[in-house]
Structures are given as C-alpha cells and as structure tokens.
Chain A
Amino acid sequence: MCQYQKSRHGNILFIILILICFSFIIGRFTSLVILIKKFVYYISYPNISTANFIFRSAGNFAGNIRTIVSMHQENIAYKQKNQELGDKLRNYDAMSKEYDDLSKLLKLTKIKNTASVFARISVRTPNEWYQWFIIDKGEADGLYNEIPVVMLNKENDTLCVVGRIIETYKTSSKVALITNSICVLPVKVKGKDINCLAEGVNSNLLKITYIPQEADIKCGDEIVVSELSGVFQQDMPVGIITNILEEQSTDFKTATANTFFEKDTLYKAIVLVSEAEKK
C-alpha cells in the first residue's frame, strides 16, 4: 500500500515537473535567463564584454517597449482621426440631405456626382493603336455607351481625356480614343476662350479645326474641354498645341495638338459614371 502511494506520488511529481519544464521551454526564457546570468556575472566580475552584452540586450528590450508605446500612441492618434472623420462624414450626410431638400424646394438642377470605375485595358491592337481599345469592365460594373473615359496624367496629376465608350458588353467595353477619326470633341484654348473642335485622325495627334483666323493662339497653348461637350467635364485637359497651319483662303485656321494622355503607356483607364445613372 505504502509502495503504491509512493509510486503514485512519484508519478504526480513527475507530471508536475515535466509541466514546469515545458512551461520554461514554451515560455522561451532563454534570453531572459542569459541576461540575468550575465548581470549576476557582471556584478561579481565586472568586465567590458559582459557590460556590452547586458546593455545590448537591455537595448533590444527597451527598443521593443518603445515600439509598443509608439504603436499605442499611433493607435490613439488614429482613433482620434477616425472620430474626426466620422464627425465630418455625419456633417456631410446632414448637408447632403439639406442640399437635396433645398434643391427640391427651389427646383434647382442637381449637380451630378460621378463615380470612378477603374478599368484595365485588356485588348489594344497595334494596327488600330490610336483608334480604340477594350477594357475589362462592362455593364456588370454599371458602364454604358457614351460615357467618358479618362486617365491620370502623371506629369501634372490631373485627369485628362482619353475617349468614350462606344460599345458595352457584360464584362467588357470598347472605348473609342479621341484620336479616332470618328471622334470630334468641342474644345477651347485654355485661358483665351477660343472655341474650336478637336478631331481624331487615327494618328497620335489631334487636328484642331475651326480656330477663328484672328484668334491669338500659339504652340504650347493648352486645349481643354469646352462647355459645349455633352460627354466630358468642362475644362478637362485634352492636349497641347504643337503646330499651327495657316490657310489664307478660309475663315478658319487649323492646328495640330499632342494629347495629354500617355498613348504608349496606357494600361489603366478611369471611367466616369454619373452616380444617379449608375443606380
């Protein structure tokens, strides 16, 4: 009986000790133990290498603490920012509702909000490089015919005119570039209020026509979308005049313009969809 109890105690003690050992192993106390050991060693026998080790280890530990504290502070700052943005959003919602109510009361024309649909160019044939391309977004993404396609000009960080959707399918759309000969875009010379037309000629340049003979334009003038355009937003950059062709016999002169959109590195495009129509 005594022997049995002794054996039982032995087994229980064994399990306890093994659990303690495994808690040491899992707890990964090695670096801590080494640090304490080195510290004790340094107290009893001070030398430079031990001191260096202790400070390095303590430095790592302090670094970790510092990281935790800075992350905590960042977290607090983000929470405050989140709170501020939440308040702003609530204000915006209230103002938007107020705007809707006032528009209804005063019977004002509402400004259309546009949503941006980011699309990747999936097909662009080399022999029709300046005419059209196909994007990977279609009806399923709320796209439809005759809506503007733009891209971000990396040089001046503005959206510039690329073309318009001419055919829409379930998951893809065909976009006609403004350099396509089927496209004619009402434009004006920026800052001079000279209205004219930008015609595509299936090349990398645009033909700017119907410029009044007396109009003061020169190479380098910027061409933007005029208010007559029903597709694109007013004052959206189109291109820059590169050459002016003087024709004495007519009332108008013609110019050529280089487009703002990057023709050779056009991989992504943004389709501007009116939010009301998208719904």
Chain B
Amino acid sequence: MKKIISYFFLYIVFCLLQFFCGKYININGIFPNFILIIIVYLGLSRGVVDAELMGFLFGLTWDVFSTDIFGLRAVIFTIIGYLSGKIYKGFDKDKIISQFVIVFFANIIYWVCFSLIYFILSDDRSNSLSIAGLSGSIKIIITVLVAPVVFYILDRIGRYI
C-alpha cells in the first residue's frame, strides 16, 4: 500500500513538473524530459515491472495531454522502462557517469522510436525529421545534464518512503 501511495505521489509530482512547470523553467523553450529520467531511475532501482508499469502510465498521460499519435509515448516509455529494468544490475546507478550514459541512451531510444513511429504513422512525414533535429539533440543534452540532480533528489526521497 505504501508503495502504491509513494508511486502515486511520484506520478502526480512528475506530471505536474513535466506538463505544467515547463513554461516557467525552460531554456529557450527547451525543457528536460523529467518523465524519462524517473522511468530510468525506477528501472535501475526497482526493476522491470515497476519501471515498465510507470512508463506505461506516464506515457499514456503524456499522450492524453499532447496532440500526437495516441499511444506513441506509452509504447516508448514502456520500452525504456523495460530496458532500464533489465540492465539495472549491470550499472551502478549512484555513479554520475553511469547516469549520464544510461539517460543518454534512453534519450536516443526515445527520439529514434518517436521519429520512426511518427514517420510510419503520421500524415506529415517531414515533421518527423524535424522532431529528431536540433531541438531533439539539445533536449537530450539538457535531460542528460539534469539527470544526476533528479537521481539525487529521488534517492533522498526514496530513503523516507
């Protein structure tokens, strides 16, 4: 029960952070992907099941709030949650370099899958290439740089939950 409440709390906090705080704390309109960071964190600390379930829920919520193809982010975050959960024993999540590397690759997976599915299913195919363009690469860098801070905060919160 405690676990469910704590996850619900994390879900609310990160949804608010991702969907409502973006307009206040962005860098030239580019905002880090906090949801991706928490999914990777959950995968590395709690394993496959928790990460993929939360990934699915976060993705579905984001799909509801966005105007993109419904189900697109849900599938990507579920895959990222599953993969990060699978490698959680191979990496020391407390090392900053590990966090950089894993979040970086998670970001790459996110953008590749996003562009690929968008390219296949969207009517406007030129848009999918621009998605994975400059804004995508800057967003990856910012997300990677923010990841250790989020990991640290989540670690601190995790001790009390």
Q: Separation in Å of the A132 CB from the closest CB of chain B?
A: 57
Specify the main secondary structure of chain A where it touches its partner. helix
Q: How far is the CA of A13 from the CA of B47 in the complex (A)?
A: 13
User: Is residue A219 contacting chain B, with contact meaning CB distance below 8 A?
Assistant: no
Which of B27-35, B60-68, B151-159 contacts its partner? B60-68
Residues of B within 8 A of A37 (CB): 64-65
Q: How far is the CA of A13 from the CA of B54 in the complex (A)?
A: 12
Say which residue of A7, A10, A14, A25 sits within 8 Å of B69 (CB atoms): A25
Say which residue of B47, B48, B67 sits within 8 Å of A30 (CB atoms): B67
Q: How far is the CA of A34 from the CA of B66 in the complex (A)?
A: 8
Given A21-B75, A24-B71, A25-B117, the answer on whether A33 and B48 have CB atoms closer than 8 Å is: no
Say which residue of A6, A27, A29, A30 sits within 8 Å of B49 (CB atoms): A6
Please determine whether A30 and B78 come into contact, CB atoms closer than 8 angstroms: no
Residues of B within 8 A of A33 (CB): 63-64, 70
By size class, the interface of chain A is: 20 to 34
Please determine whether B78 and A21 come into contact, CB atoms closer than 8 angstroms: yes
Q: Which residue of B lies closest to A12 (CB)?
A: B49
User: Is residue A182 contacting chain B, with contact meaning CB distance below 8 A?
Assistant: no
Q: Which residue of B lies closest to A21 (CB)?
A: B75
User: Is residue A99 contacting chain B, with contact meaning CB distance below 8 A?
Assistant: no
Please determine whether A14 and B78 come into contact, CB atoms closer than 8 angstroms: yes
User: Is residue B147 contacting chain A, with contact meaning CB distance below 8 A?
Assistant: no
Please determine whether B49 and A9 come into contact, CB atoms closer than 8 angstroms: yes
Residues of A within 8 A of B72 (CB): 25
Please determine whether A25 and B47 come into contact, CB atoms closer than 8 angstroms: no
Number of interface residues of B (CB under 8 A): 24
Q: How far is the CA of A22 from the CA of B85 in the complex (A)?
A: 21
Please determine whether B82 and A10 come into contact, CB atoms closer than 8 angstroms: yes
Say which residue of A6, A11, A21 sits within 8 Å of B56 (CB atoms): A21
Residues of A within 8 A of B117 (CB): 25
Given A7-B48, A18-B78, A21-B78, the answer on whether A13 and B67 have CB atoms closer than 8 Å is: no
User: Is residue A17 contacting chain B, with contact meaning CB distance below 8 A?
Assistant: yes
Given A14-B78, A22-B75, A25-B121, the answer on whether A30 and B68 have CB atoms closer than 8 Å is: yes
- Knowing that A11-B48, A30-B69 touch, tell me 9 more A-B residue pairs with CB under 8 angstroms: A10-B48, A10-B52, A17-B78, A18-B78, A18-B79, A20-B56, A21-B71, A22-B75, A27-B71
Q: List 26 A-B contacts (CB under 8 A).
A: A6-B47, A6-B49, A10-B47, A10-B48, A10-B52, A13-B52, A13-B53, A14-B48, A14-B82, A17-B52, A18-B78, A18-B79, A20-B74, A21-B56, A21-B78, A22-B71, A23-B71, A24-B70, A24-B71, A25-B72, A27-B71, A28-B70, A30-B68, A30-B69, A32-B70, A33-B70
Q: Which 4 A-B pairs have the closest CB atoms?
A: A24-B71, A10-B48, A21-B75, A25-B71
